Structure 1
Amino acid sequence: MIFENTEARIRIKDLRLRTHVGIKDEEIKNKQDVLLNISIRFDASDAINSTEIEDTLNYRSICKEIIEFVETNQFLLLERMTHQVLGLIMAHPEVRAAEVEIDKPHALRFAESVSIALSAERQG
């Protein structure tokens, strides 16, 4: 069966990491949980007809990069962390578009979490 649309979407759901994020002394001293939800669009035309990892976007290696980056850095603002994670993903030339949402659980009283979402898309 042949389809004209070969754009694929990878979703990484509820990636729970620990990092320093915030501006209060307690937030700077102690790591906190953050929850990442990521959507990545890419052309899957080569992968559709292959069984080789080289013919697709390797989401495992991208996820490892994100984990290493988030867990070894310190962030004052959730917006900055979200932007930098999005930049890591978009650095892969095969990525057409991506969206990153990062939740900071229990950041506000009476709220399950606060999140920031950013997206990017290649032109052309």
Structure 2
Amino acid sequence: MQSFDENDIVFIKSLEVHTIIGIYDWEQETKQKLLIDIEASHDNTVPAKTDNIEDAVDYEFISTSIVKLFQNTKYQLIETVAEVCANWILTHTKSKTVKITVSKPDAISAAMNVGVQIARSKINKN
């Protein structure tokens, strides 16, 4: 398992995404709500000094991009959604590590929420 030990975090809580998700036939016919929590590491001392968005992890860019990413997709598992989300963030932002929680609040009537959580990091290619 990869560690998630960065001190500075940019986070997004309960990003609402509507997508086709589920293992049952009826779930593949209509969009369902997912809630995505994102914690992305980034050395925030630089943007704090420069006060420039170019030096920061832009949570608006991440939020709108993730919502668009899942608008026209079909997946069976929220585990897949979590991996796709983590890979996108690690590829398109300056974050070196990311923690993703994907919740499917309407999946189990007897439970308030169900979901998965993953932590991923960029592989050092040097």
Query: Which TM-score band (shorter chain)?
Result: 0.7 to 0.9
Q: TM-score, normalised by structure 2?
A: 0.85
The whole-number CA distance in structure 2 between the counterparts of 1:27 and 1:71 is 15
Aligned: 1:8 with 2:8: yes
Cross-structure match for 1:3: none
The whole-number CA distance in structure 1 between the counterparts of 2:98 and 2:42 is 9
Note the C-alpha offset of 1:90. 0.9
Note the C-alpha offset of 1:7. 4.8
Cross-structure match for 2:79: 79
Q: 1:33-54 deviations in whole A, cap 9, x for unaligned?
A: 1111111111123201112211
Question: Could you list the runs of 5+ residues in structure 1 that have no partner in the other structure?
Answer: 1-5
Q: TM-score, normalised by structure 1?
A: 0.86
Identity %: 24
Matched length:
119
Higher relative contact order structure (alpha carbons within 8 Å, sequence separation ≥ 6): 2
Note the C-alpha offset of 1:14. 0.9
After alignment, is 52-61 or 30-39 more displaced? 52-61
Q: 1:39-95 deviations in whole A, cap 9, x for unaligned?
A: 111112320111221121212111111111112211111111111001011113521
Give the number of the structure whose alpha-carbon radius of gyration is greater: 1
Matched AA of 1:26: W
Note the C-alpha offset of 1:123. 5.3
Note the C-alpha offset of 1:20. 0.5
Question: Could you list the runs of 5+ residues in structure 2 that have no partner in the other structure?
Answer: 1-5
More strand as a share of residues: 1
